Amino acid sequence: MSDTTMAPGALPADGVPRRRRRWNASLLVGMVMTGAFLAIALLSLVWTPADPNQVAPRDRLLPAGSAGHLLGTDALGRDVASALMAGAWTSIVVAAGAALIALVLGTISGLAATSNRQYVNETVMRGADILLSMPGVVFALVLAATIGAGVGATIFALSVFFTPSFTRVVRAAALRVLEEDFVTAAALYGRRRLFILARHVVPNIFSVMIVQFTLYFAVGILTEAGLSYLGVGVTRPEVSWGILLKEAQETVGVASPLAIWPGLAIVFAVLGLNILGDGLRDVLDPRLRRRKS
Amino acid sequence: MLVFLARRFAFFVLALVVSSVLIFSLIRIAGGNVAAVMLGKGASPQAIDELMAELGLDRPLPVQYFDWVAGMLRGDLGTSFRTGEPVTDLLVDRLPVSVPLALAGLALALLVAVPVGTYAATKAGTPTGAFVATLSQVGIAIPVFWAGVLLSLFFGVKLGWLPTGGWTPWTVSVTGAIRSLVLPMVALGMVMAATLTRYTRTAVLDVMNEDYVRTARASGMTKRAALFRVGVRNASLPLVTVVGLLAAELIGGTVIIEEVFSLPGLARMILSAVSAREVIVVQSTVMVIVAFVLVVNLVVDILYGVLDPRVRVTR
């Protein structure tokens, strides 16, 4: 190889590193958008321009750009920018929380469904099928209304309906890994099944799990906002983008910028996560063909 | 084929049973004391007991469950505690709002997504293809209720073409009813179309890379002929599945969009029944919805079996 004369760390002649691509445009854009979303949410924990629940009757419906109120105030004089920031944190707690629970439950059940015992497979997979065919929003609605609305109930409702998708994806990925020669080798070596699953399967399907988590994080944000909009998700004093939109529509009608901001925030967060998910899929697992552009 | 049908039908029945048990236990166990809620605070324990007995809620839960299921099998969905109206009648009042809305939304989504997704697949790798893909990516991120708000803002408030909400019954004015449904239908359809476009694009792309399409091309068919004669039937398989899965999402979207446009559909009915602790109404309505989704999935799977003989063997 003539490359041996090159300085260490320099790029090959064509300028492309001879290893797996580590970056792509989707990953970059997705990380920037998601990073901004996470940063704003974290910032809201320590600082917001005002208390998002602070009612100020004299400052009702101030326009955007008013002194001290960057995006104006709502019908009760509450600061809109602060509410949006607090809503970002609520989105993360509920959506990421639900996606995380679904990831854990889905991994356990998905791995269980690769068992050699047919009845275990059938029970888990048919159970997942049944859950998948139920309208999640309707169930979450009933659930929230019976056990009471709130952050905990919303996380619970969402995680129940996210889990079967994780089960399916994890099982499909795990089955592919289980066919590999190194798994056969480990089995011949006398490794127990649980060891093989933990040591060989999980690390190899980790990228699939991460991508799935990212995408359901996004779905969670949409669903949480929808449930809160219906009044059966998160409730005041917790602030949710869904609540903000509902309040805007009820108090001032749709022709108000108050109805625009929460929607934009949702689109920004969800879009960022979806793009990030696509980028991650390309980088982490080149074998998976990407489903987008 | 018969074995496949029998297995699939057995699963359908199993799913119905499991979901009915799930709905029943969820509502009955988590729902709290119905009579106490109905009578309000300060009701004597005796009055609560009497009301429970009157409503038949003091019987053992399994008895109540089988009574409920037996009633549904006879077509009796129970009666409302408050008004004494049969649930069937309540549903019949609401369905003319919800069913046309959901079906028109789905139809619109398919009408947009299938051609656009196919087009995007044939243009993959070009700026046009990337543009369509980006557009659908953005569409997926738009919550259906915000789409509704934006549409009513533009077409309702700015242009004043269509009502921003409310409902004109079909019996009063057919055009009025249609006018009340247009914006919700478009909001629902466009948001679902975004997801569906992406699936269509993937399905068609997958098919275009298959050997049989290459063979068809090699045997002299144009790209278009190969795609439509050989590809479409194969690409329709994953799409049929997606439509089945979307049935659940469609209902969720319908519920939310009804709330946005204050339509007196199923969503309103469930929401108010839930807050009034009308357990029978909630139970039966949710069961009807779940049964509908299960039927759609049954039909979808059977279609799948008809379209693709391989499915019959493997399942």
A225-239, A249-263, B14-28, B179-193: least confident range? A249-263
Tokens 């329709």 sit on residue? B236
- The nearest alpha carbon in chain A to B253 belongs to A137
Residues of B in contact with A129 (CB under 8 A): 11, 15
Does some domain include residue A23?
Answer: no
Quote the pLDDT of residue A16: 45
**Domain boundaries of chain B, sorted by first residue:** 87-275
Between A138 and B190, the more confident residue is B190
Cβ B290 vs Cβ B23: under 8 Å: yes
Number of domains in chain A: 1
Quote the pLDDT of residue B185: 92
Does some domain include residue A158?
Answer: yes
Three-class secondary structure of residue A148 per DSSP: coil
Mean local confidence (pLDDT), B23-38: 72
Cβ B254 vs Cβ B265: under 8 Å: yes
Name the β-bridge partners of B79.
B86
Name the β-bridge partners of A66.
A69
CA–CA distance, B89 with A55 (Å, rounded to integer): 44
B129/A133 Cβ within 8 A: no
Q: Read off the CATH number of the domain in which A247 is found.
A: 1.10.3720.10
Quote the pLDDT of residue A108: 93
Cβ A270 vs Cβ A221: under 8 Å: yes
- The nearest alpha carbon in chain B to A231 belongs to B271
Residues of A in contact with B191 (CB under 8 A): none
* Residue B23 scores a pLDDT above 90: no
Cβ B242 vs Cβ B117: under 8 Å: no
pTM of the model: 0.84
The residues, ordered by sequence, that sit 6+ positions from A159 with a Cβ below 8 Å of its Cβ are A97, A98, A99, A101, A102, A105
The residues, ordered by sequence, that sit 6+ positions from B116 with a Cβ below 8 Å of its Cβ are B132, B136, B193, B197, B200
Tens digits of per-residue pLDDT, B211-256?
A: 777 888 888 877 777 777 777 777 777 777 777 777 778 888 888 8
Burial group, residue B133, by CB count within 10 angstroms (0-12, 13-18, 19+): buried
B198/A226 Cβ within 8 A: no
Quote the pLDDT of residue B266: 84
What's the complex ipTM? 0.81
Domain of residue A82 covers 43-49+63-286
Candidates A131, A132, A146, partner chain B, best to mutate (most B CBs within 10 A): A146
Mean local confidence (pLDDT), B269-281: 79
Quote the pLDDT of residue A77: 67
Q: Which residue in A132, A142, A231 is closest to B245 by CB distance? A: A132
Q: Inform me whether the C-beta atom of residue A186 falls under 8 Å from chain B C-beta atoms.
A: no
Closest Cα in chain A, distance from residue B216 (Å)? 24
Does some domain include residue A147?
Answer: yes
Does some domain include residue A29?
Answer: no
Does some domain include residue A134?
Answer: yes
Residues of B in contact with A133 (CB under 8 A): 15, 244, 247-248, 290, 293-294, 297
Quote the pLDDT of residue B313: 60
- The nearest alpha carbon in chain B to A222 belongs to B143
The residues, ordered by sequence, that sit 6+ positions from A269 with a Cβ below 8 Å of its Cβ are A33, A34, A37, A88, A91, A218, A221
Question: Please, what's the largest Cα pairwise distance for chain A?
Answer: 77
Tokens 């889905």 sit on residue? A106
B87-275: which CATH architecture? Answer: Orthogonal Bundle (1.10)
CA–CA distance, A108 with A103 (Å, rounded to integer): 9
* Cα of B305 vs its chain's centroid, Å: 22
Label residues B220-239 b or e (16+ Cβ within 10 Å = b): ebeeeebbeebbeebbbbbb
Quote the pLDDT of residue A6: 40
Does some domain include residue A223?
Answer: yes
Does some domain include residue A26?
Answer: no
CA–CA distance, B10 with B21 (Å, rounded to integer): 17
CA within 13 Å, CB half, B67: 12
Cβ B9 vs Cβ B18: under 8 Å: no
* Residue B143 scores a pLDDT above 80: yes
Report mean pLDDT in 10-residue bins for chain A, 293 residues: 41 46 79 90 79 70 66 72 86 93 94 85 84 77 73 87 89 87 88 86 87 90 89 82 84 69 90 88 62 37
Candidates B119, B134, B149, B201, partner chain A, best to mutate (most A CBs within 10 A): B149
CA–CA distance, B156 with A206 (Å, rounded to integer): 48
Does some domain include residue A14?
Answer: no
The residues, ordered by sequence, that sit 6+ positions from B34 with a Cβ below 8 Å of its Cβ are B52, B55, B57, B81, B277, B279
Quote the pLDDT of residue A62: 67
Select from A136, A123, A139, A130 the least CA-distant residue to B15.
A130
The residues, ordered by sequence, that sit 6+ positions from A118 with a Cβ below 8 Å of its Cβ are none
A267/B251 Cβ within 8 A: no
Q: Where would I find the beta strands (DSSP E) of B11-159?
A: none
Mean local confidence (pLDDT), B186-198: 88
Q: Inform me whether the C-beta atom of residue A41 falls under 8 Å from chain B C-beta atoms.
A: no
Three-class secondary structure of residue A69 per DSSP: strand
B141/A274 Cβ within 8 A: yes
Residues of A in contact with B17 (CB under 8 A): none
Residues of B in contact with A175 (CB under 8 A): none
* Residue B196 scores a pLDDT above 80: yes
B141/A218 Cβ within 8 A: yes
Tokens 């869904």 sit on residue? A242
Quote the pLDDT of residue A69: 65
Cβ A141 vs Cβ A227: under 8 Å: yes
Mean pLDDT, chain B, rounded, equals 81
Quote the pLDDT of residue A285: 63
Q: Inform me whether the C-beta atom of residue A118 falls under 8 Å from chain B C-beta atoms.
A: no
* Residue B50 scores a pLDDT above 50: yes
CA–CA distance, A200 with A177 (Å, rounded to integer): 8
